Amino acid sequence: MTDTITISVDAMGGDNAPRAVIHGASLALRERKNTRFIFHGRQEQIAPLLDEFPELRPASTVRHCETVIAMDEKPSQALRKGKGTSSMWMAIQAVKDGEADVAISGGNTGALMAMATFCLRPMKGISRPGIAAIWPTLRSDIIVLDMGATIGADAKQLVDYAILGSALARCLFDDDAPTVGLLNVGTEEVKGLDYIKEAGRVLTEASGSGFTYHGFVEGDDIGKGTVDVVVTEGFVGNIALKTAEGTARQVGSYLRSALKSNLMSRIGALFATSALNALRRKMDPRTVNGGVFMGLNGIVIKSHGGTDEIGYKSALSLSYEMARSRLIDKIGDTMQRFPIKVASEAPEAEPEANSA
């Protein structure tokens, strides 16, 4: 990889595309001058936006794609409609062809996972890809996966996610042996479903192969930051993510109401402006926007579809760091060091896998 990082962008993906996408790219470029962008989408909509952000134009290439995948299309329908022609597909194809280091889209998650799986294919030894999210905690940011790429899992897939998540942690946290925990209903070894206990046994024996296995963790350990990587299956992971997002909005709403409830509260809020602004930034989901599709032969980042330019800038910054840190190489290194294999009870990944 050269010093320049090239990001392939589905400019039409997301509720506020393409404006939020282009504006976010201009913000990202200010911090990382060696970034180049390939924007895929409708040229007649993208070109005027580049005129608004002239500093972005020299670092950009626009490739016209007429087909756009809707947010409510089923993955199988989107794959038939957009394979080889849509802005989403072409953004991924640029990574497969070696023209870009990473692809990003804020579009339909299920469609993006289907296209990425079909186009890039899962890495050898990985049964199903997963989506990893960066999660702010009381200690520091951690990684949680799977966030909903696949509903249901077996022991093999949980072990895969531990390998993938630890490789991502090594990229983000510069830690040669990040701690990994399996999300469970208790920390005792006798608790939990059989496939979770089997995955725990395998990870216990493999601890030290690019990560340190902590053991079972519970739901409150996520917010505490007990481990660097929390591993779970997609159904549970997606519910945990949506619950955390809803709780953050709920707490924020309570806080705003309390600070406006009377004159003394308003005066107190004025004195606490600095602290409140820091809290607001900490709880702002835009600052940790971006899910990483793990286990594919290429890097794909999913931005939140409803985010604005600030959120998109965060996702583009994450894309840059994943490429710069050589995520794919670190996954391969961790897999080579992993000494134990466990048989999968599920079929190999299909493009139409359930996605959230």
User: 258 and 234 in one domain?
Assistant: yes
Tell me the pLDDT of the chain averaged across its residues: 87
Residue 350 lies in a domain: no
User: 148 and 122 in one domain?
Assistant: no
Residue 272 lies in a domain: yes
pLDDT, tens only, 21-54: 999 999 999 999 999 999 999 999 999 999 999 9
CATH number at residue 71: 3.40.718.10
Residue 355 lies in a domain: no
Q: How many other CB atoms are found less than 10 A from the CB of residue 195?
A: 18
Count of structural domains within the chain: 2
User: 184 and 111 in one domain?
Assistant: no
Cα–Cα distances in angstroms (integers) from residue 81 to residues 17, 68, 69, 302, in the given order: 20, 9, 8, 20
Residue 330 lies in a domain: no
User: 224 and 207 in one domain?
Assistant: yes
User: 258 and 222 in one domain?
Assistant: yes
Task: Please give the model's pTM, rounded to 2 decimal places.
Answer: 0.84
User: 58 and 156 in one domain?
Assistant: no
User: 120 and 47 in one domain?
Assistant: yes
Residue 356 lies in a domain: no
pLDDT, tens only, 262-271: 888 888 777 7
Residue 279 lies in a domain: yes
The confidence score (pLDDT) of residue 340 equals 59
The confidence score (pLDDT) of residue 351 equals 46
Look up the domain containing 104 and give its range: 1-126+295-325
The CA distance from 334 to 177, in Å, is 10
User: 279 and 135 in one domain?
Assistant: yes
User: 315 and 282 in one domain?
Assistant: no
User: 187 and 83 in one domain?
Assistant: no
User: 145 and 94 in one domain?
Assistant: no
Residue 352 lies in a domain: no
User: 137 and 102 in one domain?
Assistant: no
Residue 115 lies in a domain: yes
Q: pLDDT tens per residue, the chain (356 residues)? A: 458 999 999 999 999 999 999 999 999 999 999 999 999 999 999 999 999 999 999 999 999 999 999 999 999 999 999 899 999 999 999 999 999 999 999 999 999 999 999 999 998 888 889 999 988 888 888 999 988 888 888 999 999 999 899 988 988 887 888 999 999 998 888 888 999 999 999 999 888 877 899 999 999 999 999 999 999 999 999 898 888 878 877 887 888 888 888 888 888 777 777 776 776 666 666 777 889 999 999 999 999 988 999 999 999 999 999 999 888 888 887 777 776 555 555 444 444 444 44
